[in-house]
Structure 1
Amino acid sequence: MELSPTAGATTAIDMRMTVNSTMSLDGQEAPSTPTPTMIMGMTLTVDDVTDDEITMSVTYDRVEVEGGDPTLQGLLDSMVGITGTVTTTRSGAFVDGKMDTSGVDPTLAPTMQQIDSQLANLTVPLPTEPVGAGATWEVATALDSQGFAFCNTFSYTLTSFDGDAYELAVETVQHAEPTTIEQGGASVELIEGSGSGTGTTGGRLSFPIAVSGSTDSNTSIAMAVDDGSTEQTLEMDMAIQMELSPRE
């Protein structure tokens, strides 16, 4: 299932993402503020196609928040115009991604990390050999987030394929490696981190990323934070719903 895009090919997609999180400190649940749904639009253009890799440019051209919060929308407006590049293999596996976030409000750093992660997940590592509907395969990837190492295992099932257009069912399992980092003058020990998700994704061999799909994922993290005078245990649960659709 080798990708066969043409340099200059372009598409526009919209990503709708809802994040709900809860947090507790030393067993006491902290007050949580509902996070409004974000809609992010991007255009992607195939810049170069070699025998081994495909390089695309990405431009975020739409960032909106549901609910009409003017303060939050004002922050998100700084994301419009962000550009970057994404590189995949000819079979769709993610190789590298770089986003220029120099003009983004610093308070949006966590949001940008989530978006970068979702952007990488738009790439679909396909089997290198010919397969048909019903085929299954697994791919393991590593992700570094704020100094912590996560291992993701994706299980794919090819539900339909007509020679160009494909549809996949996807299951994800995530595991974090226990580690300790120094952050803001404090020692942060990642005690445990795990997650899972299910969803669907679809695209064509004639373009190197998925253009439709939806996922529901849940992540749980437990950390011990020591600032030199006190040590506290922080636990956080996060649920993310993401929908991807081609722009009409």
Structure 2
Amino acid sequence: MSILTYRALVCGLALAACGGSASKPPAEPVAASRTEVRNGSQGSPETKADAKPLDTAPESETPASPPQPPKVRLLSPGAAPRQALRYRFSVGPSQWSQMDMKMAIGVALGNDVPKAAPLPTMRVSMRIDPKSVSPDGDLRYEFEMVKLTVLRDVVVAPAIREKLEQELGKLTGLKGYAVVTSRGITKEADFVVPPDTSDAMQETLENMRSSLRQMSSPLPEEQAGKGAVWEVETQLVTPAFRMTQTATHTLQNLRPNGMSTRVSFVQNAPRQPMKLKKLPSAKVHLESMLSTGDGKTDVVFDKLVPNSVVSLSTNLQMSVAASDGSTGNMAMSMGVQTNFQPSKPPH
């Protein structure tokens, strides 16, 4: 499962635990993501944090559009020798993964600047069971969140810790499935939602569904070698709003059965109305949203679980019109650092 899928899960839980507040980058600033190759040509590094939010979207558009497959574009093929980058899935024993996520959250009203509020590291242990492989190499697998833990590395108010532990506890045993191609494109994915799931948890899961399609990172169709660069553009749709994510991958090392890459992310969204169940009578507009980040990953082609480290920083600006005619602005920011790795079954 991808870093961003886990991020959607735990961020949703963290926001719920803090009463729906937004987030801010941690005290140690998230590094601005960089890429050294653009449009297939060499050049000086470009800071992706300078990217601008998209322009206004038509007011008539809603987040209910069906998900679109990602667009993968090879920007540079890299050096020879080159090879087709493909997963070689097989049915076998369960694979285990562990994700540690550090984050801090903040919210500000009017023209105030959000202040950081760090949260304890949240650890998720997951079992992944490969079920079948089609003649074309498509893998169908199932997963289960076996253990979710709030670590004691950050001191927070007891009420916040208790709420985090309660929300994480509700997801223990949560199951799902996915179908992913040999190029890492997720064709189908969803959760198996228990019938007694609360309304609050249903909302959290609904926000995660779009991220399920990013469980693995798409690979280019063309052959690639060391230094290759490819871009993956994905349209992400949540119940609240829609956005575009562009991930730029640089192949740093290629092995017969694996590779290591550097990746940078940019997520942005046009101005659009938001649908917030917690504010049903208010009109909320997303004025701008920009998220940047970078990281590194090491992949073994016959395994689903990579070794990855990713940092992301997100800023949102919103305007709110209440039912009584009053208006205001709200700023949110979020910083997340995620470590993702294969593991043994938890004790």
Tell me the TM-score normalized by structure 1: 0.88
Considering fraction of residues, name the structure with more strand: 1
CA contact (8 A) 1:25 1:235 kept: yes
Runs of 4+ in structure 1 deviating by more than 4 angstroms, as ranges, are 29-33, 103-122
Query: Aligned partners of 2:339, 2:205: CA distance in 1, in Å?
Result: 17
Name the structure 2 match of 1:73.
Answer: 165
Query: Aligned partners of 1:130, 1:53: CA distance in 2, in Å?
Result: 19
CA contact (8 A) 2:263 2:294 kept: yes
Query: Aligned partners of 2:86, 2:163: CA distance in 1, in Å?
Result: 45
**Structure 1 residues 218 and 78: CA distance shift in structure 2, 3 A:** same
Name the structure 1 match of 2:191.
Answer: 99
Unaligned runs of 5+ in 2: 1-84, 153-157
Name the structure 2 match of 1:26.
Answer: 110
Query: Aligned partners of 1:25, 1:17: CA distance in 2, in Å?
Result: 27
The Cα shift of 1:80 comes to: 0.9
Name the structure 2 match of 1:86.
Answer: 178
The Cα shift of 1:77 comes to: 1.4
The Cα shift of 1:86 comes to: 2.0
Q: Which residue type is aligned with residue 45 of structure 1?
A: D
* Pairwise CA RMSD: 2.5
**Higher Cα radius of gyration:** 2
Query: Does residue 64 of the first structure (1) align with residue 160 of the second (2)?
Result: no
**Residue 221 of structure 1 is aligned with which of 282, 304, 316?**
316
**Residue 170 of structure 1 is aligned with which of 260, 263, 266?**
263
CA contact (8 A) 1:167 1:203 kept: yes
Name the structure 1 match of 2:33.
Answer: none
**1:152-186 CA distance string (max 9 Å, x none):** 00100111121112111100111112211343122
The Cα shift of 1:116 comes to: 5.8
**Structure 1 residues 48 and 181: CA distance shift in structure 2, 3 A:** same
Secondary structure at the residue paired with 2:119? coil
**1:50-97 CA distance string (max 9 Å, x none):** 216322211101100012944532332121100001222220023332
CA contact (8 A) 1:201 1:210 kept: no
The Cα shift of 1:13 comes to: 0.5
CA contact (8 A) 1:148 1:177 kept: no
**1:103-130 CA distance string (max 9 Å, x none):** 5555456765776676654412112233
CA contact (8 A) 1:124 1:210 kept: no
Query: Aligned partners of 1:239, 1:33: CA distance in 2, in Å?
Result: 10
Name the structure 2 match of 1:42.
Answer: 126
Determine what percentage of the aligned residue pairs are the same residue.
22
